[in-house]
Structure 1
Amino acid sequence: MVEDILKVFGITAQQSGVSTGKHWLPAHGADIISVSPVDNKKIATVKSASREDYDLVVAVAQEAFKVWRMWPAPHRGEVVRQVGEALRQHKEQLGKLVSYEMGKSLQEGYGEVQEMIDICDFAVGLSRQLHGLTMHSERPGHRMYEQWHPLGITGIISAFNFPVAVWSWNSMLAWVSGNVCIWKPSEKTPITALACQRIVETVFVANNVPEGVCSLVTGNREVGEWMAHDTRVPLVSATGSTRMGKSVGAAVGERLGRSLLELGGNNAIIISQDADLDMSLIGAVFGAVGTAGQRCTSTRRLIIHESVYDAFTARLVKAYSQLRIGNPLDQHNHVGPLIDTAAVAAYQQSIEQVKQQGGTFLVEGGVLSGAGFESGCYVKPCIAAVENVYRIVQHETFAPILYVMKYQTLTEAIAMQNDVPQGLSSAIMTLNLREAEQFLSQAGSDCGIANVNIGTSGAEIGGAFGGEKETGGGRESGSDAWKAYMRRQTNTINYSTSLPLAQGIKFDL
C-alpha cells in the first residue's frame, strides 16, 4: 500500500529533501530515515539540507518574492484554488500516508487533508479581501488610508502531530498575501511533506509561478535554528513545544523579526452539574484519546462538579474499556500509536510521576505488546484522579493521559482551568446560560479558544487558532490571521494647493 502511494507522488526510497518548488536540489546533509510507528517499518530515507543548501534555497526565494508580490492577489488566489483541487484529487492517498507516517487514525488523516482543502477555499476568498481602512484627515484637502503589503519570506516550522495541515494554514495565507514560503517539516514526518511539495509544485509549474515561492528544506533542529536567526526571513511561524518556541522566539526577537508561535496546550473541560453528560462524554473521550493524545488541543484535564463526579467518571471508565487500540489504517480502531518510543518513554515517566505525587488511576496505563503492537509505540489511554497543583498536571505530556478532579463552585472551576502555564483551548459543558456566559466573560477562561458544549479539540478553519501565555500568543488560519503575514502601511495624500502641518504646527518660509 505505502509503496503504491509513494509512486503516486514520485517519492523514491532515497530522496532529496530540498526543493525550490520547481527543482529538487542535491542535498548534502545527514540522512533522515522515516519509520512508521504503526509497524516499525522504514518508509524512505530523506537526505537533509546542509547550510549551503539552505542558503541557496533562501537566495532563490528572495528573487521569487520580487516577482510574486507583483502578481495581483486574485491571481495568486487562483493558483491556491488549483492547489485545493489537486489536494481533493489526492485526498485518499495523502490521508493514508499521514495516518501511516504519523500514526493517527485514518479518519483523522483524511480530516487533516480536508482541513488543507478548506484553508485553500478560505484563502481564495481572502485573496479578494486584503482590505485596509480609510480615515478622515484633520488637514483640509488630504486623504488618509492604510494598506497591507507582503513581508517577504515566511519560514514555516511544523510539528509531527499535524504534519501537513498546519503548514497549509500558513502557506496558503502567506501565498495569497504575496509572500514566498520555506517549509521546514518535522524530521519525524518528512515523507508527507515531500508528497505535499510534489502536489504543489505540479500546480505552480503549470501556472508559471516563479521558482522559490514554495520551497522545502528538510532537516533536524539546526535547520530551524538557521531560519530563526536569519535576517532574510522576516517572519518565522513555528509550531511545537513551549521549549522550542521560547528558543525560536528569542532568536527571532533578538534580530527584531516577527515570530508566530503555536506552542503547548494543557486543555481542560469543565463538566457542570447542569451538563448534558452524554454529550460531555463524547467530547471528553475524543478530546483525550484522539491522535493518541498528541494534539496541542487534546483534553488533558476534566474539572468535574462534585455532584456529578462519581456518575461521570463511571461513564468515562466504561467508555475507556470499549476503546479499540491498533493499526490506525483499520477504521474500526479508535486509537493508534504514539509517534515513537521516546514518546512512549515520556508517557511512562508521567505515569510514574502521577503516582509519586499522590494521584490514583481510575484506568491504568501501560505499553501494549504482542501481535499488532510490535513497533512498541502502542499504549493504553489512562485516567488519573489528581489535584490541579501537582507538578505533572501543570506539564503537558503528549500522550493519552487524562486527569480528573473535582470542583464546588464555577468560580473555583474557572480558576483551576486557568491555573496552568499554558492557555490554548478550553471548554465548559453546561445547559446553564449564566454559567456559559460567565465562562466566556472577562473573568472566565484565559485561553485563546473557549467553547461551550463542545470539547477542546477540533477547531474550524474559519476562526483564528492560537492561545495565550506559554502557548505563544500566535494566531493562524481564519478570521484576520492573514495580517500576521503582512506589514501595515499608513498613507496620506495631499491634493490641496498648500502644505498644512498636523497638530496645527506653523512653519512658514
Structure 2
Amino acid sequence: MALQLSYRLLGRQLSAGQATRVGRRRLSLLRERALVAGQWTVAADGATFDVINPATDDVIASVPDLGEADAARAVAAAAEAQRSWGQTAPRRRSQLLQAYFRLLEEHGEQLAALLTAEQGKPLAEARAEVAYGAGYIEWFAGEARRIHGEVVDGAAPHKETLMIRQPAGVAALITPWNFPIAMLLRKLGAALACGCAAVAKPAEDTPLSALALAALAEQAGLPPGVLSVLTASRARTPEVGAALCRDPRVAVLSFTGSTAVGKLLYAQCASTVKKLSLELGGNSPFIVFDSADLEKAVAGCMASKFRNSGQTCISTNRILVQAGVYDRFVAALGSVMASQLTAGDGAADGVNLGPLVNNAQLEKVSGLVSESVRQGARQVWPRPGSAAPEGRFYPPTLLTEVTPDMACFREEVFGPVAACARFETEEEALAIANSSDMGLAGYIFTENIAQAWRVSRALECGMVGVNEGLISQPEAAFGGVKLSGLGREGGHYSVEDYTEVKYICFGTK
C-alpha cells in the first residue's frame, strides 16, 4: 500500500506563471538550427521535426531535419578543419577544453533544465549528468598534454626505434537519448584532445542538448568546422548514419546505442575500414551473496536500477540473490522502492522517477513484463489489475521467482523493473550471469574479499562494481565485451580510439 501512495504523478499541476518561468529557464540555451560547417543552418528543403517533452507531450522546439547532403557538407568542413586542428599544439587544445569546461560549469543549470525537458529525467539527475559530462572535458583538457609515444631499444644495431601518436582524423560521434549530454562530452572531449575534428549526430529524441553543447563549444573558441552537429528525424537518421559510415574522409566512428544498430554501423564501416568504438547494449547481473551487507546491497540496487527510470546501459537488469538472504533482500528492496520512488515530470520538486523517453520504449518494457508474468514470474508490485499511470510513465515494478529463461532476463529491459531470481551456489550465479551474449557491466555484493576478487575475475563483462552501484567515472575505462561493444571510453584509454601509432626507424650508421 505504501508504494501505491508514493507512486504519484507530480508536476502536471503547475500554474501558468510557474510554467512560464520554467519555460524561460529552459529556453536560455535552446537552439533551433543545426551547426554545419561552422554555420547555424536550416535544412536545404526547410524540413523540420518536433522535439517532445516525454512527461507532458508539449512541443519544446522544432529543429532541422538534415540528410545525406548535409552530412557530406559537415564532413567536408571537418576534413578541411582537420588540417589545422590536428597541427594545433596540445597546450592550445588543452586551453580550449579548459575554457569549455568553465562554460559548462557556468551554464550547468540551464543545460540541466533543457535536458530534463527533452529527455524526461528528474532535474537532480540532469544536474548530475551535466557535472559528470563536464568532468570528461576537464579530464581530457589535461589528457591533451599527456599523449605520449615511446622510444624502444631494438635488437638491430645502428637503428633507433620510435613510436609516435598522431590524430586519426575526422571522428563521427553518434550518441544516444538516455545520456545525451554525458555521452557526447565523453566522446567529444577525447576526440578534441587528440586533435580530431568531429561531426556529431545526436539521437532524434534529444537533439537540443547537443546543440546547446555546440553553442558553448563555439563560445569557448573552438574553430569553425571542428565541430558540426547534425539533427535528423527518425526517418532520416539511417541515411545520415550511413553517410558518415561510408565517407572515406571519416577516420573514426564512435557509437553508443543498441547492439542491433551497432552491428549495422559496423557493417557499413567495412568499406572504408574505419577505427571503431562501439558501446552497445547491456544486460547487467547484480549478484547478492549470503555474506552481503543487505542495506548496502539494496542501496546499490536502487541506485543502479532506477536511475533514469532504468534507461541506462549499465543498469541492473538481472538481480541474482543467494537463497540464504533472498527473502530478506526482496522484502527490503520492496520496502525501499515503496518509500523512495516518486514519479512525475522531472522538473517538479520531489520527483526521482521520470517517464520513459517515447511510446516505443513504453511498449517494450510493458511487453517484457507481461511476457515474464505469463512465463511464471510473480509480480509483487504493482498488483496485477492495478490502474496504469497516464502517459509514458511506467510504474516501478518488482518481479520475484524469476528464472533465467524468462523474457526479463533474456533481454535488456531498459525500464524501472527489478527482476529477482534465486541461486544456491557461487558457481550457479556465475553460470547465470555469464549466460548472456552481452557483457557490459556486472555488480557483486559480498563482504568476503576472496569471493569478491574471484567473482570479479570470472564475470564476463568489461566493468564490475564491488559493493557499489554507481561505477562510471571520467578517469576509468568504460566499455564491454562480447556483444556489448569494442574499445574503451574514459581515462587514458580513449586515446587509443582517436590516434594512430606511427613507427619511425632512424638509421644511425
Match of 1:452 in 2: 466
Is the contact made by 2:68 and 2:239 (CA closer than 8 Å) also made in structure 1? Answer: no
Per-residue CA deviation, residues 324-344 of structure 1 (Å, 9 max, x unaligned), is: 111212342221110012211
Name the aligned partner's letter for residue 198 of structure 2. Answer: C
Matched residues in 2 for 1:165 and 1:476: separation?
A: 12
Inter-CA distance 368–192: structure 2 relative to 1 (3 Å threshold): farther
- Aligned partner of 1:491 in structure 2 is 504
8 Å contact from structure 2 (residues 309, 354) kept in 1: yes
Instruction: State the partner residue of 1:150.
Output: 167
Contact kept? 1:367, 1:380, Cα under 8 Å: no
Taking the TM superposition and a 5 Å limit, the aligned residue runs for 1:108-123 are 108-123=125-140
For residues 429 and 121 of structure 1, the distance between their equivalents in structure 2, rounded to whole angstroms, comes to 32
Contact 1:116 1:168 in 2 (8 A): yes
Shift of 1:448: 0.4
User: Secondary structure of the equivalent of 1:463?
Assistant: coil
Kindly report which structure 2 residues correspond to 1:11-410, keeping only aligned pairs within 5 A, or say none. 11=31, 15-20=32-37, 22-28=38-44, 30-204=47-221, 209-219=222-232, 220-322=237-339, 323-364=341-382, 376-385=391-400, 386-410=402-426
Cα pair 1:265 1:471 within 8 Å, conserved: yes
Residue 4 of structure 1 and its aligned partner are, at CA, apart by 2.0
Give the Cα separation in 2 of the matches to 1:28 and 1:369: 47
Residue 395 of structure 2 aligns with an amino acid whose one-letter code is K
Counterpart-to-counterpart distance in 2, 1:336 and 1:369: 18
Amino acid at match of 2:468: I
Q: SS of the counterpart of 1:234?
A: strand
1:422 paired residue among 438, 441, 459: 438
Counterpart Cα distance in 1 of 2:125 and 2:313: 15
Give the drift of 1:412.
1.4
- 1:4 alignment counterpart: 24
Distance 1:472 1:41 in 2: 35
Question: Could you tell me how far apart the structure 1 residues matched to 2:364 and 2:201 are?
Answer: 25
Name the SS of the counterpart of 1:297 in structure 2: coil
1:433 and 2:467 correspond: no
Deviates more, 1:105-114 or 1:209-218: 209-218
Contact 1:18 1:53 in 2 (8 A): no
For residue 365 of structure 1, report the CA deviation from its aligned partner: 7.2
Structure 1 residues 367 and 187, CA gap change in structure 2 (3 angstroms): farther
Q: Using a 3 Å threshold, how does the CA distance of structure 1 residues 6 and 335 change in structure 2: closer, same or farther?
A: closer
Q: Which consecutive aligned stretches of 4+ in structure 1 deviate over 3 angstroms post-superposition?
A: 365-370
Query: Sequence identity, in percent?
Result: 28
In the alignment, is the contact (CA less than 8 A) between 1:449 and 1:466 conserved in 2? Answer: yes
State the Cα deviation string for residues 456-507 of structure 1 (Å, max 9, x = none): x4411110101111111231122322111111111111122xxxxxxxxxxx
Superimposed CA distance per residue, residues 334-359 of structure 1 (whole angstroms, 9 cap, x where no aligned partner):
21110012211111111111122222
Separation in 1, partners of 2:383, 2:39: 47
Give the distance between the partners of 2:220 and 2:65, measured in 1 at CA.
24
Residue 188 (structure 1) shift: 0.3
Q: Deviations over 1:135-172 (max 9, x none)?
A: 11222222112111111110000000001111111111
Deviations 1:93-141 (A, max 9, x none): 1011111210112111011111122111111111111011211122222
- CA displacement at 1:9 relative to structure 2: 2.2
Q: In 1, Cα distance between the equivalents of 2:385 and 2:195?
A: 48
Distance 1:331 1:156 in 2: 34
Taking the aligned partners of 1:438 and 1:362, their CA distance within structure 2 comes to: 33
Letter in 2 for 1:429: F
Choose 45-54 or 422-431, whichever is displaced more.
45-54
Which amino acid is the alignment partner of residue 388 of structure 1? P
SS at match of 1:464: coil
**Displacement of 1:296 after TM fit?**
0.3
Structure 1 residues 397 and 278: alpha-carbon distance in aligned structure 2, compared to 1, 3 A threshold = same
CA distance in 2, matches of 1:365, 1:108: 28
TM-score by length of 1: 0.91
Aligned partners of 1:366 and 1:2: how far apart in 2?
Answer: 37
8 Å Cα contact 1:68/1:213 also seen in 2: yes
Q: Please state whether the residue corresponding to 1:435 is helix, strand or coil.
A: helix
Pick the aligned partner of 2:494 from 463, 474, 481.
481
Residues 64, 211 of structure 1: 8 Å contact kept: yes
Q: What is the deviation of 1:192?
A: 1.2
Q: Aligned Cα RMSD in Å? A: 1.8
Which runs of 5 or more structure 2 residues have no equivalent in the other structure? 1-20
Q: In 1, Cα distance between the equivalents of 2:153 and 2:459?
A: 38
Q: Which letter maps to 1:233?
A: V
In the superposition, relative to structure 1, how do residues 118 and 365 fare at CA in structure 2: closer, same or farther (>3 Å)?
A: farther
Structure 2 distance, partners of 1:87, 1:419, is 41
Checking the alignment, whether the CA contact within 8 Å between 1:157 and 1:184 is kept in structure 2 is yes
